Structure 1
Amino acid sequence: MTIIVPTDFSDTANNAARYAARMVNGTYDTTLVLFHVYDKSEDATQVAENLDLLKKDLAALVPVKMETRTEQSTDFINSLDRLARHLAAELIVMGITGKSKIEQVFFGSNTLKIAERNVCPVLIVPPAAQFTQLKNVALTSDFKDVAHSIPVVPIRKVLQLFQPSLHVVNVNSEHYVSLTEEFLAQRNQLTEMFQEFKPEFYFIGTYNVEEMIQTFVTDKNIDLLITVPRQRNIFSSLYKTSTTRKLAYESPVPILAAHE
């Protein structure tokens, strides 16, 4: 497995790199690629030295295979997109921080933009997150055409690394006493898709989706939240959708964005 960890050497990026290193500790055939995009104002030699220093710091934490890559460019997103496709990366790990609008524009936008590109799953790491274990993973689903909308292969690859308990949650204002036949059929399909993880299902009726998901994460001791952005859904209007901002910026646990 190839995992790209972009860095600008900030505290947020360094924390995401530490999370990634600890996450893959003990796994086989996994390589972390530390990647920095720099412009003409930066010295290429200094950039290489900073990357090597980060690599040494991570190696002191855990034994993990690592490579470093740099590119001079003014377009970080396109550079990261090209590298991910060239390496056939299976995951990108990035930090995110900032609850003020200014911080969100300068620190958070790149993380959300690369998630929108759908080149591979993106693990969004909150600034205070520290990897300890992945025992409980929550998968959010709208239970609509799950056979085609849920990217089973990339999600299973992550789950197989840790063998966690899988909690599938649907938050919907239209849930009443019993589930419709359609919801039951979709649940059966999801059970079959992830049968080795023995998924448990939760159907919650509420209008406040993001708040209920946060409560669910806390109540169930969730270590990782998996979302499946649709092209005209969660990431389609990055700065207009309050649910997106709240999930990405306020989640206490990392979010794995895996596109359909």
Structure 2
Amino acid sequence: MKKILLLTDFSKASKKAILFAQTLFSDAASEFHLLHSYTVDTSGSFGDTTFHQEAEKQVRQQLNSLLSEITTQPVPDHHRYLTRTYPNTTVDAVEWILSKEHFDYVVLGATGRGNNEYFGSVATSIIRTVKTSVLVVPETVPSRPVQRVVLATDYHSVNHLRSLRPLKELLTMKGANLTFLTINGPEHDNSSVSEKSQQFAAYFDTINTDAFSIRNNEVERGIDEYLATHPVDLLVTVPHHRSLLDLVTGRSITRKLAYKPRVPLLTVYDPEDLPIEIDEKDVYKAG
């Protein structure tokens, strides 16, 4: 059973993300955890628990109301819903929960109205810190089946093909097509990725795949160019947890994409080391 953490602030964007997740995992046995985090101003009565109790009560009422709203349609027998609250910031709440229990996905909506491209978005902060797959859904995304999936990759930066197993499972479940998208500079030698691309294609041998390459000095612009000229239902990236300096200098393409996503964005967690597991299709590790 998939365990999915749905973040909500009761906004239109978060409701859109929840609806998208319900549709995406419609065929999968799933346990959805609705999480709302909140902060309480107790400056008027330091140490008084009354404020916390009242805030918790109000949040619980809102969560129950939201739960009724999103389960108006008949809920599949293989879907289960739970509600959770946490008195802290959203990022801290997610980090704490993931430190205590495993979730397959964290799902949240994005409006792109943060104050700063690198620091003003909950989505970018969560992608930078959590060690699980994150699904970011733009507020304006239309409701439609996920059939056209794009994996933006240079092939070299993926540590383990086995990290892409969640993507492979989704593609199989939805019967979707996968495009490997590479963005190359003018001097790039395509022969250098030939072997790696063949290994990726072999790993997704049960999926209908193709490859597309764009010439552009800037990866983000190349991806935007592709999204502007091709229908895409889900964009997939494999981010890596880097230093704060990378945030400041803008080296994280994934976090730029998550700030104002044009299409739903799935980031797949790819740790440097994975437990040994025998699978002949998982043995490749990028050098």
- The TM-score range, normalised by the shorter chain, is 0.7 to 0.9
Unaligned runs of 5+ in 1: none
Measured in 1, the distance between the counterparts of 2:100 and 2:174 equals 27
> Is 1:238 aligned with 2:247?
yes
Structure with the largest fraction of helix: 1
- 1:116 deviates by 1.4
> Is 1:98 aligned with 2:109?
no
**CA 1:142 to 1:236, structure 2 compared with 1: closer, same or farther past 3 Å?**
farther
User: Alpha-carbon deviations, 1:33-59, whole Å to 9, x = none?
Assistant: 100122234611110010011111110
Residue 116 of structure 1, aligned match among 100, 111, 128: 128
**CA 1:78 to 1:100, structure 2 compared with 1: closer, same or farther past 3 Å?**
closer
2:93 equivalent in structure 1: 79
- 1:147 deviates by 5.7
Letter in 2 for 1:35: L
Contact 1:81 1:119 in 2 (8 A): no
Contact 1:21 1:58 in 2 (8 A): no
Q: Counterparts in 2 of 1:46-57, with a 5 A limit?
A: 46-57=58-69
1:24 equivalent in structure 2: 25
2:262 equivalent in structure 1: 252
Measured in 1, the distance between the counterparts of 2:173 and 2:238 equals 19
User: Alpha-carbon deviations, 1:228-252, whole Å to 9, x = none?
Assistant: 112339x973354174554223332
Residue 236 of structure 2, aligned match among 213, 220, 226: 226
- 1:206 deviates by 1.2
Deviates more, 1:205-214 or 1:237-246: 237-246
Measured in 1, the distance between the counterparts of 2:31 and 2:245 equals 31
**CA 1:220 to 1:213, structure 2 compared with 1: closer, same or farther past 3 Å?**
same
1:163 equivalent in structure 2: 175
1:65 equivalent in structure 2: 80
Letter in 2 for 1:170: T
RMSD: 2.6
Measured in 2, the distance between the counterparts of 1:57 and 1:200 equals 39
> Is 1:179 aligned with 2:190?
yes
TM-score, normalising length from structure 2?
0.78
User: What percent of counterpart residues are identical?
Assistant: 23
Measured in 2, the distance between the counterparts of 1:255 and 1:81 equals 20
**CA 1:28 to 1:246, structure 2 compared with 1: closer, same or farther past 3 Å?**
closer
> Is 1:208 aligned with 2:218?
yes
Q: How many residues align?
A: 253
TM-score, normalising length from structure 1?
0.85
Contact 2:118 2:248 in 1 (8 A): no
Unaligned runs of 5+ in 2: 42-51, 271-287
Measured in 1, the distance between the counterparts of 2:138 and 2:14 equals 10
Letter in 1 for 2:163: P
Letter in 1 for 2:139: P
Contact 1:138 1:225 in 2 (8 A): yes
Task: Name the SS for the 1:82 alignment partner.
Answer: helix
Letter in 1 for 2:84: R
> Is 1:45 aligned with 2:57?
yes
1:2 equivalent in structure 2: 3
- 1:160 deviates by 2.8
Task: Name the SS for the 2:213 alignment partner.
Answer: strand
- 1:89 deviates by 0.8
User: Alpha-carbon deviations, 1:101-153, whole Å to 9, x = none?
Assistant: 369855x2x22121112421000111111331111000011121646377222
Contact 2:129 2:241 in 1 (8 A): no
**CA 1:145 to 1:22, structure 2 compared with 1: closer, same or farther past 3 Å?**
closer
2:227 equivalent in structure 1: 217
Measured in 2, the distance between the counterparts of 1:12 and 1:104 equals 20
Measured in 2, the distance between the counterparts of 1:103 and 1:168 equals 26
Deviates more, 1:89-98 or 1:53-62: 53-62
Task: Name the SS for the 2:71 alignment partner.
Answer: helix
Task: Name the SS for the 1:101 alignment partner.
Answer: coil
